[in-house]
Amino acid sequence: MNRPHLIKIPERGGTRVTNDGESMNILCIGDVVGKPGRDAVERLLDDLKEEFRVDLVIVNVENAAGGSGVTSKIAKHFLEIGCDVLTSGDHVWDQKELEEYLKEEPFLLRPANFPEGAPGRGWCIKSTPSGIKVGVVNMIGRVFMRYNVDCPFRALDTIIEEIKKETSIIVVDMHAEATSEKVAMGHYGDGRVSCVFGTHTHIQTADEKILPNGTAYITDLGMTGPYDSVIGQKKENILRRFLTSLPLRFNVADGEATLHGIVIEIDEKTGKALHIMRIQREDKAFQEQSGKKESCSAMQNE
């Protein structure tokens, strides 16, 4: 067996993924949490796209609206600023008004393995500006998750068959809690899809790899949201809940956000992954803005 190869660990400042014209680069961004997360995407996206010569951007937006789901207005904004496909997860139903928008927007996905009758769709095919078609699939796990959904493994078989009629490039967002279920999904898709990445835990894992049959894999992309927090929520509230078991309200934390995700390079013809690279970026503009605010108020105080 050939050993999985070429795992690029970014040094500070990032390592360039090359694109020689026969491969394409896809940026995948982990669960965006609240306004700090949204601002980080907005401020960092253009630079990331340029740095990694990104052809397509996939963003998990399930916590973008105050930590709970996403609104149609926020989803539209993500699409306007250059995100191509939006995925979600267990929080997709948190904003009731989203149901109508899910029916009409083909590039906003809910997990594909929700039972028949759920609004919206769980997969799509998006063309890049240069005309390369990419299939994107959103799945949700069943282990330690709150919904009774269809089997994500069996559901993937049917969807792969459909997408393969148009393209061999397929990326799967496996939104799940249990690492075992995500790893299993990676191996299940190996050689049939280009990438399986996990979302939902908000903690980036360091296990990015190319599986033996050419599928890029990582257990979790991590979160795009407030750094000084417990998975994006105010740490004081979460600690109080752990200490007292009282049903306390969670609030999105304030402060500087970090963007977490991956860049994958895929062979355009075969759909096999060539590279996978983890990325973590601080929203430095937030610090600059805060600095400006502080100096303003300092002046006012004088």
Give the catalytic positions in this structure: 91
Q: Does 173 bind Fe ion (CB under 5 A)?
A: no
Q: Which of 39, 55, 84, 90 touches Fe ion (CB under 5 A)?
A: 90
CB distance 177 to 200 below 8 Å: yes
Q: Compute the C-alpha angle 13/28/235, nearest 5°.
A: 80
CA distance 207 to 134: 24
Q: Does 31 bind Fe ion (CB under 5 A)?
A: yes
Nearer to Fe ion, 36 or 271 (CB): 36
CB of 181 to Fe ion, least distance (A): 13
Nearer to Fe ion, 89 or 152 (CB): 89
CA distance 299 to 302: 5
Interface with Fe ion by CB under 5 A: which range of 22-30, 62-70, 121-129, 262-270? Answer: 62-70
CB of 96 to Fe ion, least distance (A): 18
Nearer to Fe ion, 57 or 70 (CB): 70
Nearer to Fe ion, 200 or 209 (CB): 200
CB distance 79 to 86 below 8 Å: yes
CB of 32 to Fe ion, least distance (A): 9
Q: Which of 30, 36, 67, 89 touches Fe ion (CB under 5 A)?
A: 89
H-assigned helices in the chain: 34-51, 72-80, 98-104, 152-164, 179-189, 235-244, 284-301
Close Cβ partners of 28 (under 8 Å, ≥ 6 residues apart): 57, 58, 59, 171, 173, 195, 197, 221, 261, 262, 263, 264
CB of 223 to Fe ion, least distance (A): 7
Nearer to Fe ion, 182 or 200 (CB): 200
CB of 62 to Fe ion, least distance (A): 5
CB of 215 to Fe ion, least distance (A): 22
Q: Which of 200, 272, 275, 281 touches Fe ion (CB under 5 A)?
A: 200
Interface with Fe ion by CB under 5 A: which range of 199-207, 233-241, 244-252, 258-266? Answer: 199-207
Interface with Fe ion by CB under 5 A: which range of 27-35, 108-116, 277-285, 292-300? Answer: 27-35
User: How many residues sit in the footprint of Fe ion (CB under 5 A)?
Assistant: 6
CB distance 100 to 134 below 8 Å: no
Which residue, chain included where needed, has tokens 């996939």? 58
CB distance 151 to 185 below 8 Å: no
Side chain identity, residue 17: V
CA distance 13 to 9: 11
Interface with Fe ion by CB under 5 A: which range of 113-121, 126-134, 196-204, 214-222? Answer: 196-204
Nearer to Fe ion, 147 or 153 (CB): 147
Interface with Fe ion by CB under 5 A: which range of 25-33, 80-88, 244-252, 280-288? Answer: 25-33
Structure tokens at 180: 């075992």
Q: Does 63 bind Fe ion (CB under 5 A)?
A: yes
Kindly write down the DSSP assignment for every residue of 54-76, as one continuous string: -SEEEEE-TBTTTTS---HHHHH
Q: What pairs with residue 169 in β-bridges?
A: none
Contact set with Fe ion (CB under 5 A): 31, 62-63, 89-90, 200
